[in-house]
């Protein structure tokens, strides 16, 4: 039986991976921060050696972007060095590693296609993170990619993740709309919403593929602004609420946000034989779970 160990199992993506792996009949070891704080190298090594998984899905991370900006040393420790500890532990027991990364490793300036128009980031585009969060996640990527290719280690970059439970953009928008508070959402950041449930399935497809190695992008199909995301979410939720616009500069957050986060997922699609569903479909399924 395939044994899958999931770090960060208490988070919205970690929980989704644990649930999806169990449904596939895998033996699942879900370790949250209390069970395995990943910045503790000795404990990481002990837990991985104890369970001897076939695959580790590394979801644990410090994803507070502004918190990382205020404390880059901690960001590097949790998102960078800790990922190196997980990679070393996987090598010791010959386990495959899938490390979840982020669109924040890119500078956020849209690359241009041959026609001169903006295109999505492909996996081998140059990385140039502008935030402490992005730099710490790139540090983790580099630790994973130093491993020999035949180990099948993968970095899986994703963006704008939302899912049942936990704090996320749709939950915040719905709560504010239902409270009657005015809504304004930035419209100058463009990216790909990603449903944790769909991302979990893609991660597990990579876990069982003998051909998977290197960097992949994984996001639901389609590109939208945060404002457009909010408008469609409220439309599907049946909430007639006006959504005003604002700029990133007006929002005034400490850490820089990528203006362009569109990810080209064709490499993942080719391996799986199908893309992740459109983000609008993912919103419908999120709302169906959220209403229960």
Q: Which residues are catalytic?
A: 133
276 contacts 221 by C-beta, under 8 angstroms: yes
Burial class (CB in 10 A: 0-12, 13-18, 19+), 291: exposed
Following DSSP, what letter does each residue of 137-196 receive, concatenated?
A: HHHHHHHHHTS-GGG--EEEEE-SEE-SSSS-HHHHHHHHHHHT--EEEE-S-EE--EEH
Give the angle subtended at the CA of 78 by the CAs of 173 and 257, to the nearest 5°: 40
């Amino acid at each position: 039986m395939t044994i899958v160990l999931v770090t960060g199992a208490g988070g919205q993506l970690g929980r989704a991976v644990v649930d999806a792996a169990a449904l596939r009949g895998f033996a699942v070891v879900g370790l949250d921060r209390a069970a395995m704080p990943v910045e503790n190298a000795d404990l990481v090594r002990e837990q991985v050696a104890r369970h001897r998984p076939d695959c580790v899905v590394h979801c644990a991370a410090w994803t507070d972007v502004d918190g990382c900006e205020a404390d880059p040393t901690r960001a590097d420790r949790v998102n960078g060095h800790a990922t190196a500890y997980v990679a070393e532990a996987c090598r010791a027991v010959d386990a495959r590693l899938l490390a979840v990364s982020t669109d924040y490793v890119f500078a956020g300036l849209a690359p241009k296609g041959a026609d001169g128009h903006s295109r999505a980031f492909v996996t081998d585009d140059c990385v140039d993170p502008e935030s402490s969060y992005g730099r710490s996640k790139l540090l983790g990527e580099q630790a994973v990619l130093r491993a020999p290719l035949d180990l099948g280690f993968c970095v899986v970059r994703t963006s704008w993740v939302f899912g049942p439970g936990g704090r996320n953009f749709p939950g915040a928008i719905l709560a504010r709309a239902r409270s009657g508070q005015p809504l304004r959402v930035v419209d100058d950041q463009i990216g790909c919403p990603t449903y944790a449930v769909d991302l979990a399935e893609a991660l597990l497809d990579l876990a069982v593929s003998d051909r998977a190695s290197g960097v992949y992008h994984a996001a639901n199909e389609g590109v939208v602004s945060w404002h457009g995301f909010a408008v469609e979410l409220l439309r599907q939720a049946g909430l007639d609420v006006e959504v005003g616009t604002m700029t990133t500069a007006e929002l005034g957050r400490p850490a820089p946000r990528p203006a362009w986060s569109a990810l080209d997922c064709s490499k993942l699609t080719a391996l799986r034989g199908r893309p992740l569903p459109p983000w609008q479909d993912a919103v419908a399924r999120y709302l169906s779970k959220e209403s229960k």
